[in-house]
Structure 1
Amino acid sequence: MSKLDITKLTVDLSGVWAGFLRDWDRTLRAANHPETTRYNYLIAAAQLGRYLAEHSPDPDAEEAADDPCAVTRAHVESFQAWMIDTRSASTALNKHKCLQQFFKFLLGEQEITRSPMERVPQPKTPRKLIPVIRDEDTRSLLDSLKGKGFAGLRDEAIIRVLANTGARLSEVGNLHVDDVDLATESVHYRGKGAKDRRVRFGPKTARALSRYLRARTKHTGAHLPHLWLADRGGRRLEPNGIKIRLKRLGAAAGVAGTVHAHRWRHTFAHEWKLAGGDTGDLMLLLGWTSEDMPRHYGASAAAERAQQTQARLGIGERV
């Protein structure tokens, strides 16, 4: 049963907005969209509805705040600009993509004849080199877990799986015990868009998983299918719990920057490209379907290779 509470998401929205979002969620569930995707879609539409009711300077926003079918291009552009001002361009871009799907749904339901997203430009976001996590930082995190009992064994296994396979937080966080095969030293991931893949892991990760699984058999939550268990209470450790845990571990270990799962995903792509690994193979391992992703994630490796070549050629140093 889904944990996404549509009633909470639609609080303070008009009955018409709430009804459409409820219908859209039903359609998304029928299409087997992951809960995280559904949440991101629905919260973006709910934020647009609240913006129109509470913050929009447009004199005709009242009708749109009552009914999403009355939303215009100007309303969307105003909302997008507000998102850039109050959050960031990258957040505004995320909302833009989610709203495209919402109004596509209304078109499909024949509630509107034209999407207000037409000709609304995507916000431009700065292209930054994605930061990687250094080996010494990962080592510091792992060293800090020694002698920490069940939680230490679990957290070491989580970190090694993230670093060794480059998987997404949601993929690692939603693993089941049966997804780990120690005989073949591989793990079965359920990626975005219901795309499954199996990824190999190394001997150190296998050892960490084996030690954790032995400790897990004595845990009060050992009967649960989920791989990761909370310290106490016989409950699973949710992906968001892993996110919070990693942040705290990083702060305690004195690791520079916020520690999060995607830093290891970035590092995996960085190291792969730096070593000259095949782009197609990287896409298979990380569950990508667009070649834009390895270019984006591999930009830091390309920059490092360019710097190495510059140093080797010594241009301007021979005079």
Structure 2
Amino acid sequence: MSEKINDLLQIFIRYLQIERNYSELTIQEYQFDIMQFEKFMIEQSIQSIEDVEYLDVRLFLTTLYEQQLARSTISRKISSLRSFFHFLVREQHVTSNPFSFAHLPKAEKRLPSFFYEEEMEQLFATCEGNDPLSKRNRALLELLYATGIRVSECATIEITNIDFELSTILVKGKGRKERYVPFGSFAHDAIKRYIDEARSVLMKSSMKHSYLFVNYRGGALTPRGIRHILTKLIEKASLTGKIHPHMLRHTFATHLLNNGADLRSVQELLGHEHLSSTQIYTHVTKEHLKKTYLTHHPRA
């Protein structure tokens, strides 16, 4: 990477970390996309970031399509570079944003995957032990299913963020936005048991922090660590199909809507800025209603 672009990238990363408060995973994606475009610039003999024009952007788009990447991946890359150049314009490193006119490919309409209630029972059965790690895993799983919070949000929870009397938790979401999310009796009991009986065992005497979930060495669990634990639990439950930890969030929303929750409430619980982000779950629940109708109506 050229020294000039590397310097600009480092400034942009600091902006994403400090001003935008983006997660480590999101910042890595931005970095990867910008480095890929820098490689394209070298291949096309574009000497400087200031020399990039709209025609170069169109050619870059063509190369992405030729790689047969998913439309969602292409959209993310263009969005990353548009944000990067927008920042450079704002900071007066370049005079214009050549990505501002790039059309993003239409997103594929994929319905979010979720676990059925029977599958959730299988998951909970994988962490029924009395050892400290089983108690931690149970609390982790109960909390994620009870609240629908993101894995990245879960990693930032501190013990002081939990109000056991009101059964609510203060969640720090994207862009430093905070929200209170309620949790039920199953999560309440599992978290209390974990704190009282397991967390202090896992914590080492030299460890001093207030993060709720800790690893086997006593350090705070990272988002990557939480994903690893969830992936292992899913494998242990022998659940088939393409499964990922984020499905717990999808499951939370789908089960709420299936049981009569209104869309606005689910939007607030998920921390979605726009209702359109939540509306995708209504397609899943419509499928559920259709299946129920076809199964039980005498004239179906």
| Corresponding residue of 2:57 | 76
Provide the C-alpha distance between the structure 2 equivalents of 1:210 and 1:258, rounded to a whole number of angstroms.
Answer: 32
2:280 to 296, 314, 318: 296
Provide the C-alpha distance between the structure 2 equivalents of 1:299 and 1:49, rounded to a whole number of angstroms.
Answer: 40
| Corresponding residue of 1:264 | 248
User: Contact 2:202–2:215 (CA<8 Å) still a contact in 1?
Assistant: no
**RMSD of aligned residue pairs (Cα, Å):** 2.3
| Corresponding residue of 1:44 | 33
Q: Cα deviations across residues 33-72 of structure 1 (Å, max 9, x unaligned)?
A: 224343333332122112333xx5xxxx222xx4222222
Change (3 A) 1:255 1:73: same
Matches within 5 A, 1:137-216: 137-147=119-129, 149-214=131-196, 215-216=198-199
1:261 match: secondary structure: coil
Change (3 A) 1:312 1:75: farther
Provide the C-alpha distance between the structure 2 equivalents of 1:188 and 1:258, rounded to a whole number of angstroms.
Answer: 31
| TM-score, normalised with respect to structure 1 | 0.84
Comparing 256-265 with 206-215, which one deviates more in the overlay?
256-265
Q: Unmatched 5+ residue regions in structure 2?
A: none
2:211 match: secondary structure: coil
| Corresponding residue of 1:227 | 212
Letter in 1 for 2:40: Y
Matches within 5 A, 1:51-130: 51-53=40-42, 56=43, 61-63=44-46, 66-84=47-65, 85=67, 87-130=69-112
Q: Cα deviations across residues 149-181 of structure 1 (Å, max 9, x unaligned)?
A: 111111111111111111111111221121122
Provide the C-alpha distance between the structure 1 equivalents of 2:130 and 2:234, rounded to a whole number of angstroms.
Answer: 15
The percentage of aligned residue pairs carrying the same residue is: 25
2:101 match: secondary structure: coil
1:43 match: secondary structure: helix
Q: CA deviation at 1:190?
A: 0.3
Provide the C-alpha distance between the structure 2 equivalents of 1:83 and 1:246, rounded to a whole number of angstroms.
Answer: 32
Provide the C-alpha distance between the structure 1 equivalents of 2:294 and 2:229, rounded to a whole number of angstroms.
Answer: 40
Q: Unmatched 5+ residue regions in structure 1?
A: 1-12
Q: CA deviation at 1:314?
A: 7.1
2:201 to 218, 224, 227: 218
Provide the C-alpha distance between the structure 1 equivalents of 2:208 and 2:94, rounded to a whole number of angstroms.
Answer: 49
Provide the C-alpha distance between the structure 2 equivalents of 1:165 and 1:186, rounded to a whole number of angstroms.
Answer: 9
Letter in 1 for 2:39: R
Q: Cα deviations across residues 232-259 of structure 1 (Å, max 9, x unaligned)?
A: x232221101111211221122012344
Change (3 A) 1:211 1:88: same
Q: Is residue 2:25 matched to residue 1:15?
A: no
| Corresponding residue of 2:257 | 273
Q: What number of residue pairs does the alignment pair up?
A: 295
Letter in 2 for 1:143: A
Provide the C-alpha distance between the structure 1 equivalents of 2:92 and 2:208, rounded to a whole number of angstroms.
Answer: 47
Letter in 2 for 1:234: G
User: Contact 1:130–1:299 (CA<8 Å) still a contact in 2?
Assistant: no
Comparing 252-261 with 92-101, which one deviates more in the overlay?
252-261
User: Contact 1:44–1:98 (CA<8 Å) still a contact in 2?
Assistant: yes
Provide the C-alpha distance between the structure 2 equivalents of 1:127 and 1:178, rounded to a whole number of angstroms.
Answer: 40
| Corresponding residue of 2:14 | 26
1:244 to 228, 235, 253: 228
